[in-house]
Amino acid sequence: MPSSLPRPLLLGSTSVYRRELLQRLRLPFDVAAPDVDETPQPGERPPDLARRLALAKARAVAARHPEAVVIGSDQVADLGGEPLGKPGTHERATEQLRRMRGRTVIFQTAVAVVCQGSGFEQLDLAAVRVRFRALSDAEIEFYLRAEQPYDCAGSAKSEGLGIALLDAIDSDDPTALVGLPLIRTARMLRAAGLPLLA
């Protein structure tokens, strides 16, 4: 007989940005580190990389918590088919932003929801097109010193001062650029049996 209580929810991510986004759904959840190697495979396209890593993160946490509903997510900045990851340093962030200035970058944000106990598994991808302004070196330096977005794919945080770097954002899931597409996530959580508005 199925339980009337919803399964526990786990976010398979150590990202503070994803945690803050998931809190918007007002569901109780815990966080678990997925411990997944994020190295791209040779020739792997950015959307394929994002999908593979999101699913790997969800599956890794679900293997340790088989009764939980687990969310895994990954974001890859896609510059003309080349994956740009988290810069990690000021120098790499400077180089990324110089390469992106005046260009359109697609932020590929994948989300997976997995529950081993019920056999549930879904995966989706939100592609956010972001057009960067023709930034000067001085603007890039000012921005990086002010916000230090070294843990963000593509070296920019649109939810902060990074919005001043941009000419346009085109997306059907507005939180995808921050790191977790909540419209898609909510859809999958409902399909996994977690009520959101009850």
pLDDT in tens, the chain (198 residues): 345 567 999 999 989 999 999 999 999 999 999 999 999 999 999 999 999 999 999 999 999 999 999 999 999 999 999 998 889 999 999 999 999 999 999 999 999 999 999 999 999 999 999 999 999 999 999 999 999 999 988 899 998 999 999 999 999 999 999 999 999 999 999 999 998 998
Residue type, 183: I
**Residue 181: predicted pLDDT:** 97
CATH architecture, range 9-191: Alpha-Beta Complex (3.90)
Domain boundaries, the chain: 9-191
In the chain, count H helices and then E strands. Answer: 5, 7
**Residue 56: predicted pLDDT:** 98
Active site residue 74: yes
What percent helix, strand, coil does the chain show, rounded to 5? 35, 25, 40
Could you say which of 35, 74, 151, 170 is catalytic?
74
Q: pTM value? A: 0.91
